[in-house]
Amino acid sequence: MLFASLLKQLVRVGTVEVIDADGRTHQASGAPGTTVTLRLHDRKLHRRLFWTPRLAVGEAYMDGTLTIERGTLYDFIDLVAINEELGGAPPLMRVVDGFSWLWRRLAQSNDPRRARHNAAHHYDLSGRLYELFLDSDRQYSCAYFEGERDDLERAQLRKKQHIARKLLLAPGQRILDIGSGWGGLALTLAASADVDVLGITLSTEQQAAATRRAEAAGLAHRVRFELRDYRDLGGTFDRIVSVGMFEHVGLPNYGRFFEQIRTLLKPDGIALLHSIGRADGPGITNPWLRKYIFPGGYSPALSEVMPAVEAARLFVTDIEILRLHYARTLAAWRARFNANRVAIAELYDERFCRMWEFYLIGSEIAFRRQGHMVWQMQMAREVGVVPLTRDYVYERDDAALDVVSTASAA
């Protein structure tokens, strides 16, 4: 079976056993390590898993035509990642990756119509789903864990506080939040720093939910959410923040994106961009993730972002790298997801649950082992608008965390 030959090339540590659709067992084994047994329930997989493993493994798992007999899905994906780390992907997988690379610019063109469609694909899913695996504020991005004891709820509060500090807010400022999600960050900033916030999103679900929250919190006079593309925006802002949206911008649009940030930012303004990236250089979006989870999505390396920042004459003033924070965030999401799995299966179906499970596990391992990280980039147009040292980010005030907490998204 072709798939077994691929595994034999890959496995240097641990054991992957495959029981094929004809009931025959194939084994790929290396140095002592985890053992995982897969069972294939469809003979078509014997070739498909060989030719397009990065797409087909996820699809077969979703469809239930690939099941795990021994070990867990986490064990399996982790074992593949460990072996890729050790020896690199087998030559064939690299050929396929190389080929996909040619398509990535095309796949990320993300013109405004496509961008709306892509956003709807993911963020217009039922609000109830997000409620069942995110924190109470529906922060759908990397949390910030101060220590071992922080739970997801607290770490998401800290993330918002951390970002607020980096924005150096002052009362009366006008803030733009690009990709405002369910409004948690915008509401937090308005409530804690007495600023006006315009949040923009391409998801009708998110815009409606966020607007309801602003009203419920009595903040509708300070915080507005609009269904808008960042390219369509005018005016100027004291601060611009964007968390977990840049992944959807697409490589061909980086120049345009940063030009727009500069145009919208007042001369003494500060911008903070928070995005998933790759520490190991330019790569490709996993084709399964692109097809099922984030069409048009891409995690850029800093080498791909910096030229556009510099060309837009934005001065980078700080870059923080968060890495295991996102692995912990994803693990916490998965724990909540699993605890609510029955409810989520009722909302969608088992196939959807397996898809989401594959997504959360694959992403967690990408942060633990595959060079994925989050970068927070602070930018300004002028020298001296940011303090001399980064001390202002680290002045401890844990009491503020409790004040900062706003009405839950539920």
> Which residues here bind a copy of itself, judged by CB under 8 A?
144-147, 279-282, 301-303, 306-307, 309-311, 313, 315-321, 323-325, 368-369, 371, 373, 383-384, 388-391, 393-394
Work out how close the CB of 302 gets to a copy of itself at its nearest, in angstroms, rounded to a whole number.
5
Cα–Cα dist 250/143, whole Å: 23
Nearer to a copy of itself, 388 or 399 (CB): 388
Cα–Cα dist 139/332, whole Å: 12
Nearer to a copy of itself, 38 or 366 (CB): 366
Nearer to a copy of itself, 197 or 309 (CB): 309
Side chain identity at residue 365, one-letter code? I
Nearer to a copy of itself, 258 or 356 (CB): 258
Nearer to a copy of itself, 73 or 380 (CB): 380
Work out how close the CB of 312 gets to a copy of itself at its nearest, in angstroms, rounded to a whole number.
9
Work out how close the CB of 210 gets to a copy of itself at its nearest, in angstroms, rounded to a whole number.
29
Cα–Cα dist 273/141, whole Å: 12
Work out how close the CB of 310 gets to a copy of itself at its nearest, in angstroms, rounded to a whole number.
3
Question: How many angstroms separate the Cα of 267 from the Cα of each of 258, 275, 316, 382?
Answer: 15, 24, 14, 7
Cα–Cα dist 398/94, whole Å: 47
Cα–Cα dist 244/276, whole Å: 7
DSSP secondary structure of 21-88: TTS-EEEEE-EEEEEEEEEE--TTHHHHHHHSHHHHHHHHHHHTSEEEEES-HHHHHHHHHHHHHHH-
Work out how close the CB of 279 gets to a copy of itself at its nearest, in angstroms, rounded to a whole number.
4
Work out how close the CB of 189 gets to a copy of itself at its nearest, in angstroms, rounded to a whole number.
21
Cα–Cα dist 191/119, whole Å: 27
Token pair of 404, please? 């900062």
Nearer to a copy of itself, 87 or 282 (CB): 282
Contact indicator for 213, 201 with CB cutoff of 8 Å: no
Give how far the C-alpha of residue 407 lies from the chain's centroid of Cα atoms, to the nearest Å. 24
Question: What values do phi and psi take at 398, rounded to 5?
Answer: -65, -25
- β-bridge pairing 237-243 and 174-178: parallel
Nearer to a copy of itself, 264 or 380 (CB): 380
Work out how close the CB of 42 gets to a copy of itself at its nearest, in angstroms, rounded to a whole number.
36
Work out how close the CB of 303 gets to a copy of itself at its nearest, in angstroms, rounded to a whole number.
4
Nearer to a copy of itself, 346 or 391 (CB): 391
Helix, strand, or coil (residue 134): coil
Side chain identity at residue 142, one-letter code? C
